[in-house]
Amino acid sequence: MASDSEIILVIIIIVVVALIVSIRILKLIYKVFIYPIVEDIRQIKNEITKKKIEERYQNMEIERHQKDIERRNKLIQRHKSTLIKKYKQLTYTDDYGHFRNDSFLKELDYFIKNVLFDKVIPSETDYQYEYNRLQLIIENAAEEEPDIEVENPYDFEKKCAEILNNNGWQAQTTQKSADQGIDVIATKDGITVALQCKYYSKPVGNKAVQEAYSGKKFYNADYAGVVSNNTFTISARQLAKNCHIFLLSPDDLKNLNNLLK
């Protein structure tokens, strides 16, 4: 008959074997049934986290893009009148009846790269988007503000005086025999402006600026400027800046009060 110690040993062995078998069974159950479920849950959590991160990034990108567009819209509005003026000055119909806008498109390219994107290289998509919409904006705006129609420089001078008179100034053309380089004299609220008017088919140079500067002194005017349907040479711009002479387009005359401030 087995002793008590032997019985206890057998019981212990049975318990240990049972535990080992139970652990293996539990591991098998975990591996076959529970682990795949846990992995699926982990993968789902990872996908959800990844999706949230992607959505957050996309939202940040959308927000950044919207802010960039808002910033560029403000710049376009700020420089819209200048772009319209450039469009009118740099586009024309050639002797063959073809509309030419080559020079304006170069100006547009410069504006996009150096003003809208502030010398940061834009993506091809962003560049093309701004290029296309700016053309549309400026062309439509220019059509709403048609060019003045004149046949000769004398009519251009009269038209400039007319624009000023229609915008609250008292303006008149000078007598050609003694105009001292000034074509239009305009006064308003005690301010006198002397203007040299140039109806040119090419950019206006230094001479017109020099004439406006001399004419300002002759007429004792408060301000002087050169008005042209065309652009101005680089040297003319530099001289005008040094001599405090305004370089204007006919459209600028409508808002001359603010330009003089």
Each residue's pLDDT tens digit, 67-92: 888 899 999 999 988 898 888 888 87
Q: Strands (DSSP E) along 41-181, which ranges?
A: 92-93, 99-100, 170-173
Give which of 202, 206, 161, 203 is closest to 179, Cα–Cα.
161
**Residue 53 phi, psi (nearest 5):** -65, -45
CA distance to 61, 63, 73, 123, 201, per residue, from 68 (Å) = 10, 9, 9, 13, 38
Average pLDDT, the chain: 86
Percentage of the chain exceeding pLDDT 90: 41
Q: Using 50, 70 and 90 to split pLDDT, how confident is the model at 184?
A: very high
Model confidence band, residue 148 (pLDDT cutoffs 50, 70, 90): low
Residue 179's pLDDT band, with cuts at 50, 70 and 90, is: low
Q: How far apart are CA 252 and CA 171, in angstroms?
A: 15
Q: DSSP label at 172?
A: E
Name the least confident of 19-23, 49-53, 142-146: 142-146
Tell me, what's the pLDDT at 177? Answer: 56
Q: What's the CATH number of domain 153-260, 3.30.460.10, 3.40.1350.10, 3.90.1150.10, 3.10.20.30?
A: 3.40.1350.10
Averaged pLDDT for residues 142-146: 70
Domain segments of the chain: what residues?
1-146, 153-260
Q: Which helix (H) or strand (E) holds 157?
A: helix 153-166
The larger pLDDT score, comparing residue 40 to residue 77, is at 77
Q: What is the pLDDT of residues 195-231, one digit of tens each?
A: 999 988 888 999 999 999 999 999 999 999 999 988 8
